[in-house]
Structure 1
């Protein structure tokens, strides 16, 4: 075996070793990053659940007291329902809903509803709406979403569950009516779903999302 071949084999071995080390480093970094991202997402979810549920009004582990449901009323796909209880009695539920009718795509929501049918809070968890216009549905951009607090199927009445432009009571955004209209409809449908399925939602044992 001549010197040139030996040098080539050595170079190939070095490159292979570097490749293995790089792959191991990348794999370890991905694993650590994925864990951190997952933990951050879980903490964010817990914070949002607390924001849409009555403070101090429940004593169970809401994050693990869940149920998976399929319903067109909550949008396409399977949705998680988080259930809040006090001394074992139903207090409220948080419905994960999705409206496909956003201006720039689907809008995902958490809709907190007390057992008596009143909204305890609404938060938008993901969207791709236009910055400066449709993104006002996000609490970090405006307090528009807080107008749902305390509402129910009867307050306002059925005809008022839409934006003012359509004769309802909810504000629209200048230049972006489609976005708030979609969110209002999604929240209203969530209320209807809860009213029709309240007993069933709390009757079953918790599932793992």
Structure 2
């Protein structure tokens, strides 16, 4: 038979447990409410940030659709350097294909992967590139990012704005290697990796551009995204 002291201790333990449960439920509900309340703002901010990058490489005159809504998912693709599914953004003008923006990764940067977004017109011509993530040496190889480039009038990355369609494979190298692309003295590994990656991406887009535009994606009616390899 329980003593009064044991009964009191049991009652206190029960009340404490109920209080803890109440606090857990309350704070869980509070966190869920905060998430639901801030989610639209977070998504809107992420969308605006992504659109800001696209606007740097995709001229507004080339599209009248919403490229962030007209998307396609690609599986890992060696030609693009991507090792995980990646999004393709599709631009259209009056319903006709006008440009593609794809993820490109240069795996051989001086300090590792260099992640980029590259825009191509309907013919597969490179019309713009932006570096979105890298670990290149500050003050040396990081000039591939226009925000770090000391030449504000003509950032290095702007060499990819409207690259001539008839550029040969040999021309797709830095000048030190006999090509047409400039590289700042003392930092050749980084631009060499970028030029090589964009060239390979261009070849992929030229080969598959019709399929990439034709396949249904987020703007299609039957499936939200496609993950089969372009043919």
Shorter-chain TM range is 0.7 to 0.9
Is the radius of gyration larger for structure 1 or structure 2? 2
Gaps of 5+ in 2: 150-154, 219-223, 226-231
The answer to whether the 8 Å contact 1:152/1:191 transfers is no
Matched, 1:148 2:155: no
Match of 1:63 in 2: 68
Trace 1:65-80 onto structure 2 (pairs within 5 A).
65-70=70-75, 71-75=77-81, 76-80=83-87
| Correspondent of 2:170 among 159, 162, 185 | 159
| 1:57 to 1:31, Cα distance in 2 relative to 1, 3 A | same
CA distances 1:10-69 after superposition (whole Å, capped 9, x unpaired): 999999988887777777777777765554332111111122112222111110111112
In structure 1, how many angstroms separate the alpha carbons of the residues matched to 2:134 and 2:36? 27
Cα distance, 1:162 vs structure 2: 1.1
Report the TM-score when normalising by structure 1: 0.82
Report which of the two has the higher share of helix.
1
Match of 1:183 in 2: 194
Match of 2:229 in 1: none
Cα distance, 1:174 vs structure 2: 3.0
Gaps of 5+ in 1: none
In structure 1, how many angstroms separate the alpha carbons of the residues matched to 2:109 and 2:32? 37
In structure 2, how many angstroms separate the alpha carbons of the residues matched to 1:34 and 1:18? 24
| 1:194 to 1:104, Cα distance in 2 relative to 1, 3 A | same
Trace 1:30-41 onto structure 2 (pairs within 5 A).
38-41=43-46
SS at match of 2:111: coil
The answer to whether the 8 Å contact 2:63/2:92 transfers is yes
Cα distance, 1:183 vs structure 2: 0.7
Moved more, 194-203 or 39-48: 39-48
| Correspondent of 2:139 among 132, 144, 149 | 132
In structure 2, how many angstroms separate the alpha carbons of the residues matched to 1:69 and 1:119? 19
In structure 2, how many angstroms separate the alpha carbons of the residues matched to 1:196 and 1:177? 29
Match of 2:102 in 1: 95
CA distances 1:135-176 after superposition (whole Å, capped 9, x unpaired): 111111121100111114523x21011111111121223332
Deviation >4 Å, runs of 4+: 1-38
